[in-house]
């Protein structure tokens, strides 16, 4: 096979484009796709400062690498979820990536800062492990961005992730969630200034296969293992289903999600977003009195909101713990991914 661009020997095949590339041309192709995504959705200004949420997996490390290579002032954010050896290895790989590139890395440890980790949440709460994990990530990413003065948070969601999310939302005709599925969600103001950072997904045009090949060809050392808690996750089953279709009709996945963005998303645009107020416990944005993260945390720790280590004690919330809603993925944080809510019950 020959490289589509330079006719040299190819090392990666991209079936949906009916193309193959040599190492250098593949790297250029990936960069081109990311630049296109950034331009199309006005994700970043040239050289802008951006906080990249990095898990230690191929997608987010590839994203960090790409943004640095494209000249953005990209700092990393690693959230320690406390998932045993899996989290230890992930954190180590993120730290060594940052050291090698001399890039800034922020770290938050869920247990140290908020008193619980993801495995405990799965045992103690009534919510699914993946739901609490997703909720915690969205919360911490936004909070860290606001506290450290970043206007933008980037995540490594790829085309496979986005197509699976869209399939899940479509199967349930969850039109409110469909309306919010977008590669660039705007910043939002709250009572006291910026409440939500802008949230972007610059890898949404690239498949998992492509980000893996990119990470490999760029010599990025990433965690290959899957999160041990994720087995059976609904999202994974949707990915499998899409892969079956893609095998016989290459390009379906891209048509499904990129076609949605171009032609269908505008039809779902929601009415005005509900206005944001400050969570009475932590001050982060919410549409209710307490944010979903504080409610979940209170339930996991078995404390009443307003008691214990909440950051604004004194504000009593009698009885609230008993009426904790079952809602797991709040619309006010980071765009919902409802199919995860149903996972691992
Ligand atoms: P996931 O929810 O695991 O599919 O991850 C989606 C995106 O969230 C990844 O591409 C990362 O950008 C980010 N992410 C996931 N886990 C972490 C973590 N432990 N620390 C920082 N960012 C993460
Ligand atoms: Zn809160």
Query: Helices H, strands E: what count in the chain?
Result: 14, 12
Give nearest CA residue, ligand 1 atom 16. 55
Q: What is the pLDDT of residues 139-196, one digit of tens each?
A: 999 999 999 999 999 999 999 999 999 999 999 999 888 988 999 999 998 877 889 9
Bridge partner residues of 198 (DSSP):
152
Return the higher-pLDDT residue of 317 and 174: 174
Which pLDDT score, from 0 to 100, does residue 325 have?
29
Q: Which residues contact 165 (CB under 8 A, 6 or more apart)?
A: 181, 235, 238, 337, 339
How far from 267 is each of 154, 187, 264, 334, CA to CA, in Å? 26, 22, 5, 21
Q: Ligand 1: which of 50, 54, 59 to mutate, most ligand atoms within 8 Å of CB?
A: 54
Q: Give the other-Cβ count within 10 Å of 174's Cβ.
A: 16
Which pLDDT score, from 0 to 100, does residue 272 have?
64
Token pair listed for 244: 């079956």
Which pLDDT score, from 0 to 100, does residue 271 have?
66
Give nearest CA residue, ligand 1 atom 2. 134
Closest alpha carbon to 93 in 62, 56, 66, 61: 56
98-103-105 Cα angle (round to 5): 70
Q: Measured between alpha carbons, how far is 20 from 243 in angstroms, rounded to an integer? A: 20
Closest alpha carbon to 89 in 215, 221, 187: 221
Q: What is the pLDDT of residues 191-221, one digit of tens each?
A: 778 899 999 999 999 999 999 999 999 999 9
Per the prediction, the chain carries an average pLDDT of: 86
Q: What is the pLDDT of residues 248-276, one digit of tens each?
A: 999 999 999 999 999 999 998 866 677 88
Q: Tokens 């899996």 map to which residue?
A: 86
Q: Measured between alpha carbons, how far is 113 from 143 in angstroms, rounded to an integer? A: 12
Which pLDDT score, from 0 to 100, does residue 234 have?
82
pLDDT at 57 over 90: yes
Q: How confident is the model at residue 126 (pLDDT cuts 50, 70, 90)?
A: low
Q: Quote the pTM value.
A: 0.88
How far is ligand 1, taken at its centre, from the CA of residue 326, in Å?
A: 23
């Amino acid at each position: 096979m020959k490289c589509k661009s330079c006719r040299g020997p190819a090392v990666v095949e991209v079936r949906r484009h009916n193309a193959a590339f040599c190492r250098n041309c593949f790297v250029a192709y990936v960069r081109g796709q990311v630049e296109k995504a950034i331009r199309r959705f006005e994700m970043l200004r040239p050289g802008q400062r951006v906080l990249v949420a990095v898990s230690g997996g191929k997608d987010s490390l590839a994203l960090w690498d790409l943004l640095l290579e494209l000249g953005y002032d990209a700092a990393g954010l690693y959230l320690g979820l406390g998932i045993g050896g899996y989290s230890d290895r992930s954190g180590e790989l993120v730290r060594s990536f940052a050291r090698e590139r001399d890039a800034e890395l922020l770290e938050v440890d869920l247990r140290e800062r908020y008193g619980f980790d993801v495995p405990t949440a799965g045992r103690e709460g009534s919510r699914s492990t993946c739901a609490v994990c997703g909720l915690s990530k969205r919360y911490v990413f936004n909070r860290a961005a606001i506290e450290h003065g970043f206007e933008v948070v980037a995540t490594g969601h790829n085309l496979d992730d986005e197509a699976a999310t869209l399939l899940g939302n479509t199967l349930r005709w969850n039109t409110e969630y469909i309306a919010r599925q977008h590669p660039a969600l705007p910043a939002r103001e709250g009572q006291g200034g910026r409440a939500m950072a802008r949230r972007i997904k610059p890898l949404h045009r690239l498949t998992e296969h492509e980000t893996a090949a990119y990470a490999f060809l760029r010599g990025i050392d990433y965690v290959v293992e899957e999160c041990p808690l994720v087995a059976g996750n609904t999202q994974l089953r949707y990915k499998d289903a899409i892969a079956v279709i893609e095998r016989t009709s290459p390009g379906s996945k891209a048509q499904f999600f990129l076609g949605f963005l171009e032609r269908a998303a505008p039809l779902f645009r929601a009415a005005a977003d509900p206005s944001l107020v400050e969570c009475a416990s932590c001050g982060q944005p919410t549409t209710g009195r307490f944010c979903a993260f504080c409610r979940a945390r209170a339930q996991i720790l078995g404390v009443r909101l307003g008691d214990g280590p909440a950051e604004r004690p004194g504000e009593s919330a009698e009885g609230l713990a008993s009426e904790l809603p079952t809602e797991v993925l709040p619309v006010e944080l980071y765009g919902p991914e409802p199919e995860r809510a149903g996972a691992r019950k």
